[in-house]
């Protein structure tokens, strides 16, 4: 088994995740135009953009099962290779519909990378340190999402294929690094997988992931349309994503600290209500500069709460079920994101405020149900700081305080 300390693994995964998300978002500002030059109609372009998320929903739990069964490292290396090769296919002289396959392979690989990296961190770090470790992975995602579109703008539409090719090379390099990284499990364990233990904290975390996905889905589909309807400039629309991403990136570690030291249930619940509140508010704000400021405020709440939700998802789990739990969590979030994005476009055509209001109500309702699921879950976690040689945290029996 590859050897690296828990902190070394975390640093490597942070870089890998940032590269992957930068590649995933690299062409978003220009990708529709790139596909249009490849004879893509609006309906075909929409299908290609959606295929990334559809592939993730269809494969994330299955990949979680494979990671628990055969080892996270093999799956991570394989996913990075597939992601890299898929990214290179943008250079092929093929028409737009063929690139739907490229986007599907990218989406499936991205889902596997998320499942393996997050479950590895949950396995390597004890519960009292897990929030801070998870927050670094989340910060890497936000960093990649923030940098990717900016890097994509630098390239012209005709050069976009080469930009994707470069990210493909970086992904293959990341696969080499991953092959030498300990992810907190054996390469292959012939013993039967333990049954997935359903618990109130897991169920509540899946509901919370769905509530968060609904909010994100509305923004994916209609945020730019809403700002355009409010006569925002192109610069303001681009800045709105930056204003949201930067506070999250800066405060992610604070959110991790809160997950490890404060009441996770309270922080997670407050963050979900924060997201639903701001979602309902935006259609009624017609000052675009104020919307930028409010986006930053919303981001603060999200950055402080997501590590707590993720920590609750893995709380009390054994190492060989971490990937399946993460797969379920990612599937719940991505599926609700995709459904909300699809419904938001239809609702926006009826009334610009409708998708924001409807999804805010549904998201807030789901958030309220976590009060039931987490009613007996203790939110404060402490853990003894012992650790084996080789950097792998042993199986622990954490003391959980109310």
From the first residue on, what is the mean pLDDT of each consecutive set of 10 residues in the chain (402 residues)?
Answer: 78 89 72 78 74 85 89 92 93 88 91 90 85 86 76 69 88 92 77 84 94 90 82 77 81 89 93 95 91 90 89 85 91 89 84 93 96 89 45 32 35
Could you tell me if residue 390 is inside a domain?
no
Q: Which pLDDT score, from 0 to 100, does residue 378 have?
A: 80
Q: Which pLDDT score, from 0 to 100, does residue 392 have?
A: 34
Q: Which pLDDT score, from 0 to 100, does residue 140 have?
A: 86
Could you tell me if residue 389 is inside a domain?
no
**The domain spanning residue 120 has which CATH number?**
1.20.1250.20
Q: Which pLDDT score, from 0 to 100, does residue 86 have?
A: 93
Contacts of residue 200, Cβ cutoff 8 Å, sequence gap at least 6: 373, 374, 375, 376, 377
Domain boundary among 157, 187, 217: 187
Instruction: State whether 206 and 157 are in the same domain.
Output: no
User: How many domains does one find in the chain?
Assistant: 2
Instruction: State whether 371 and 250 are in the same domain.
Output: yes
Domain boundary among 187, 209, 230: 187
Could you tell me if residue 402 is inside a domain?
no
Residue 195: what are its φ and ψ, rounded to 5°? -65, 145
Q: Which pLDDT score, from 0 to 100, does residue 88 have?
A: 93
Instruction: State whether 284 and 223 are in the same domain.
Output: yes
Instruction: State whether 171 and 244 are in the same domain.
Output: no
Instruction: State whether 142 and 162 are in the same domain.
Output: yes
pTM: 0.80
Are the C-beta atoms of residues 391 and 181 closer than 8 Å to each other?
A: no
Could you tell me if residue 392 is inside a domain?
no
Instruction: State whether 235 and 164 are in the same domain.
Output: no
Instruction: State whether 210 and 127 are in the same domain.
Output: no
Q: Distance between CA atoms of 377 and 264, rounded to whole angstroms? A: 10
Could you tell me if residue 400 is inside a domain?
no
Instruction: State whether 133 and 41 are in the same domain.
Output: yes
Instruction: State whether 156 and 216 are in the same domain.
Output: no
Could you tell me if residue 383 is inside a domain?
no
Element (H, E) at 170: helix 160-178
Q: Distance between CA atoms of 97 and 217, rounded to whole angstroms? A: 24
Are the C-beta atoms of residues 117 and 13 closer than 8 Å to each other?
A: yes
* Encoded tokens for 225: 């349309």
Could you tell me if residue 382 is inside a domain?
no
Could you tell me if residue 146 is inside a domain?
yes
Contacts of residue 61, Cβ cutoff 8 Å, sequence gap at least 6: 324, 327, 328, 331
SS3 384: coil
Domain boundary among 187, 212, 234: 187
Instruction: State whether 235 and 267 are in the same domain.
Output: yes
Instruction: State whether 71 and 218 are in the same domain.
Output: no
Q: CB neighbours (10 Å) of residue 150?
A: 15
Instruction: State whether 104 and 139 are in the same domain.
Output: yes
Going by the DSSP 8-state scheme, the letter that residue 97 receives in this structure is G
Q: Distance between CA atoms of 38 and 94, rounded to whole angstroms? A: 7
Q: Please, which residues bridge with residue 399 across strands?
A: 382
By the 10 Å C-beta count (0-12 exposed, 13-18 middle, 19+ buried), 371 is classed as exposed
Q: Domain of 67?
A: 1-187
């Amino acid at each position: 088994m590859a050897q690296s300390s828990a902190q070394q693994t975390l640093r490597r995964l942070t870089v890998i995740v940032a590269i992957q998300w930068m590649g995933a978002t690299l062409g978003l500002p220009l990708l529709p135009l790139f596909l249009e030059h490849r004879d893509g109609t609006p309906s075909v372009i929409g299908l290609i953009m959606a295929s990334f998320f559809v592939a993730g929903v269809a494969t994330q739990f299955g990949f979680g099962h494979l990671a628990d069964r055969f080892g996270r490292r093999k799956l991570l290396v394989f996913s990075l290779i597939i992601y890299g090769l898929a990214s290179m296919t943008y250079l092929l002289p093929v028409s737009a519909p063929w690139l739907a396959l490229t986007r599907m392979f990218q989406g499936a690989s991205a889902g596997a990378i998320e499942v393996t990296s997050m479950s590895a961190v949950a396995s390597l770090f004890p519960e009292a340190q897990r929030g801070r470790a998870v927050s670094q992975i989340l910060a890497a995602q936000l960093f990649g999402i923030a940098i990717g579109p900016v890097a994509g703008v630098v390239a012209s539409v005709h050069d976009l294929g080469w930009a994707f090719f470069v990210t493909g090379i970086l992904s293959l390099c990341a696969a080499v690094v991953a092959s030498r990284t300990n992810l907190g499990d054996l390469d292959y364990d012939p013993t039967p997988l333990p049954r997935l233990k359903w618990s109130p904290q897991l169920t509540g975390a899946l509901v919370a992931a769905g509530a968060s996905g609904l909010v994100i889905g509305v923004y994916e589909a209609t945020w730019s349309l809403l700002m355009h309807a409010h006569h925002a400039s192109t610069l303001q629309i681009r800045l709105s994503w930056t204003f949201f991403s930067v506070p999250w990136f800066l405060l992610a570690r604070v959110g991790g600290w809160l997950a490890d030291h404060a009441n996770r249930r309270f922080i997670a619940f407050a963050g979900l209500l924060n997201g639903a509140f701001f979602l309902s508010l935006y259609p009624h704000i017609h000052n675009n500069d104020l919307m930028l400021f409010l986006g930053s405020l919303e981001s603060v709440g999200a950055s402080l709460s997501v590590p707590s939700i993720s920590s609750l998802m893995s709380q009390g789990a054994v190492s060989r079920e971490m990937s399946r739990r993460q797969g379920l969590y990612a599937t719940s979030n991505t599926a609700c994101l995709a459904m909300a994005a699809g419904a938001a476009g239809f609702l926006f055509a009826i009334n610009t405020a409708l998708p924001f209001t409807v999804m805010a109500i549904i998201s807030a309702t789901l958030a309220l149900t976590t009060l039931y699921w987490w009613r007996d879950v203790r939110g404060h976690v402490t853990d003894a700081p012992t650790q084996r040689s080789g950097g792998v945290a042993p199986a622990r029996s954490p003391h959980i305080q109310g």
